[in-house]
Copies of this chain bind each other. A is one copy, B any other.
Amino acid sequence: MKLGVCYYPEHWPEAQWDQDFATMVQLGIEWVRIGEFAWALYEPKLGQFEFGWLERALDLAHQHGLSVVLGTPTACPPKWLIDQHPEILAWDETLTPRHFGSRRHYDFASEVYAEHCVRIVTAMVKAVGEHPAVKTWQTDNEFGCHDTIISYSPVAVAAFRNWCQAQYGDIATLNRQWGNVFWSMAYDSFEQIDSPAHTVTEANPAHHFDYWRFHTDAVKAFNKRQVDILRAHSPGRDILHNYMGRFTQFDHFKVGEDLDIATWDSYPIGFLEQSPESEDYKATYARTGDPDFIALHHDLYRAVGKGRWWVIEQQPGPVNWAPHNPAPLPGMVRLWTWQAFAHSAEVVSYFRFRQAPFAQEQFHSGLLRVDSEPAQAYFEIEDFNQDRAKISGDIAHQPAKVALVFDYAGDALLRIQSQGHPDSPLQVVLNWYRAARKLGWNVDIVPPGGDLNGYALVLVPQLTHLSAQTMAAFEQTEATLMFGARCGSKVETVSIPQNLAPGELQRLIPIKIASVESLRRNISAPWQGDYNATAIAWREKVETTLTPRAICADGWGGWYQSGRVHYIANDLSAEDWQQVFATVASEIGLAVQPLSGGVRRRAFGDYWLYTNHGPDQATLPESGELVVGERVLGVAEVAIVKVG
């Protein structure tokens, strides 16, 4: 449970650095992230490198005993580079080059840009890669922020053509797999392929999906190129990247393969404002954030990091970028910190040390105010430090009994081909996750094909594609498997299985999806019989020899079970999922602890952490030794109970 902070020495007079590092140490901070936006300072002119100021900052950090995460500056190519090579700019879907003047204005597919990144990263790592303060590297910053994964530039299209050739070998294969016989879309050669932008009506979903997959590969390659240089010249350091929330524009598992640690930038209040939740929900959690949205990402990035993960940017107060920017309730910075550690974060690092009085983020809070006085977060970190001193037992990650399988490619496919589903695929996953969390469960996220042994219950909300490895994982586990609608609904690139959905899953449960429909929000279909639940958003008509456990009045939808395998052929609200999961849990002997409102809990090591993001206080279950907090859990409060 280490604390960190993001710091920009280049924003402040050098004379101030010493005091700033001292303040960090005084606050119990051990990690400081620096340097990730400073290319224009590292290399003010092509080939003219100036790392002296960075070395002095690193020296001083080292003197204060701080460990540094050093960022490569490739999110911000300087103006001179853009002027020399305007072709490195990404193009948006209106087919316009994006302009210099903010950040992330580069194209992942640009070989020219990649070579300049190699140059700057090599120069940087040669300058300071062996510096004793540098313990960890960060590649770039927030891949994809501001919708910057997909580019429609000529450079990107040329690279996509090569990718298609590598993927399919000959154009006839691509035509067949994409189904280009439809609407005379066949190509004669790979050179004829364009981006899927600006077509008259929707482009082929296979075209879109491959364009997405190509970009995932481009991001992975872009990252890997930096990783290789850093590993070569700065041995023994971990390498991480800072991912984002509610962001699935590339396959993070693939990029994560090349890194040591996954980190993410957790802004609970900003993310809620940007979310598709209802106005009432947003008002209720406006100052605390959605507890499950936060926790889902903690669990997801633990999976992406193969067990090792940080919060590298933790919201410390109001931010500047959401539709509205309310202040967190007092106590929330402490609560979020505990929440992350209970989910096994190695480090929680705040963004940023001191609020900047200038430029785009001047309304983004820090631990210090513009006048260098402590801001609200400062005092809450002190509170956290007092709490932390009370923890003496084991705090290791406690593997969950419940797993949830999440697939980035399926998420992309379902966005590309929503078929009128009123919710985003991530929102569907969040509903499943929320239901599990409200039953008091720890949840592990598992990538498709990941090991499922040891789990009692595996939730699979909407896994469209089923590889052999994925099917093997389902067949090898003894866990109860709960599949949701659209599982197994795709083969090859994006086609419907010849034997209909759920395709290969028919080996596990004898059902066949005869028809599907999506529903507007003001239509739904209550289940009949024992379960008080209502099909919403998406329904499937099922052919089966099974007697359904539940079904809609018109014969659609419902819940099917074959031994340890369940299939639920429609969407449900989080409340209804909770009821279904509780029923199954009771049948398989999996304990539940229903939690009300915004109260959640998380087991870690010998402890349970209880948190309250909701508007009402609640009373904790009577078990274990209360180490931090009170039995009556106030709003924005935490309680830690020792049960080990």
| A binding-site residues for B, Cβ under 8 Å | 10-11, 37-41, 44-45, 73, 76-80, 83, 90, 94-105, 145-146, 148, 178-188, 192, 194, 196-207, 273, 279-280, 282-283, 286, 317-318, 320, 322-327, 330, 355-363, 365, 369-371, 373, 375-376, 417, 419-420, 422, 494-500, 512, 514-520, 522-523, 539, 541, 554, 556
Question: Can you name 13 extra interface pairs (CB under 8 A) apart from A44-B186, A99-B197?
Answer: A40-B184, A78-B184, A79-B188, A90-B200, A98-B198, A103-B201, A104-B201, A204-B360, A273-B520, A318-B518, A322-B420, A371-B498, A371-B499
A40 to B97, CA, bound (A): 33
- Identify 19 residue pairs between A and B in the complex whose beta-carbon atoms are under 8 Å apart, listed by A's number: A40-B185, A41-B184, A79-B192, A99-B198, A101-B194, A102-B199, A103-B201, A179-B359, A182-B361, A279-B522, A282-B522, A286-B520, A324-B422, A326-B517, A326-B520, A327-B541, A369-B514, A369-B515, A376-B515
A176 CB to closest chain B CB (Å) equals: 9
- Give complex CA distance A330, B99 in Å: 53
Knowing A324-B519, A419-B363, A519-B326 touch, does A500 contact B183 (C-beta < 8 A)?
Answer: no
Q: Is the CB of B98 within 8 A of A200?
A: yes
A182 CB, nearest partner CB in chain B, Å: 4
Q: Which of A39, A417, A518 has the most CB of B within 10 A?
A: A518
A495 cross-chain contacts in B, Cβ below 8 A = 357-358, 362
Name the distance in Å between A95's Cβ and chain B's nearest Cβ. Answer: 7
Q: Is A369 in contact with B500, judged by CB distance below 8 angstroms?
A: yes
A365 vs B500: C-alpha distance when bound (angstroms): 13
Are B102 and A186 closer than 8 Å at their CB atoms? no
Residues of B near A41 (CB, < 8 A) are: 181, 184
> Closest residue of chain B to A522, judged by CB?
B283
Contact B356–A182 (Cβ < 8 Å)? yes
Q: In the complex, which residue of chain B has the Cβ closest to the Cβ of A77?
A: B184
Q: Smallest distance from the beta carbon of A401 to chain B beta carbons, Å?
A: 37
**Whole-angstrom distance between the alpha carbons of A644 and B420 in the complex?**
46
A245 CB to nearest chain B CB (Å):
16
The one of B96, B357, B541, B554 in contact with A95, judged by C-beta atoms closer than 8 angstroms, is: B96
Bound together, the chains give a CA A576 to CA B323 distance in angstroms of 25
- The answer to whether A183 and B523 touch across the interface, beta carbons within 8 angstroms, is no
- The answer on a CB contact under 8 Å between B179 and A358 is yes
B359 and A204 contact, CB distance less than 8 A: yes
Most B CB atoms within 10 A — which of A327, A359, A519?
A359
Cβ of B518 and Cβ of A199 under 8 Å apart? no
Query: Is the pair B318, A206 in contact by a Cβ cutoff of 8 Å?
Result: no
Q: Is the CB of B203 within 8 A of A102?
A: yes
* Closest residue on chain B to residue A207 by CB atoms: B101
Q: Kindly list chain B residues whose C-beta atoms are within 8 Å of the C-beta of A204.
A: 101-102, 359-360
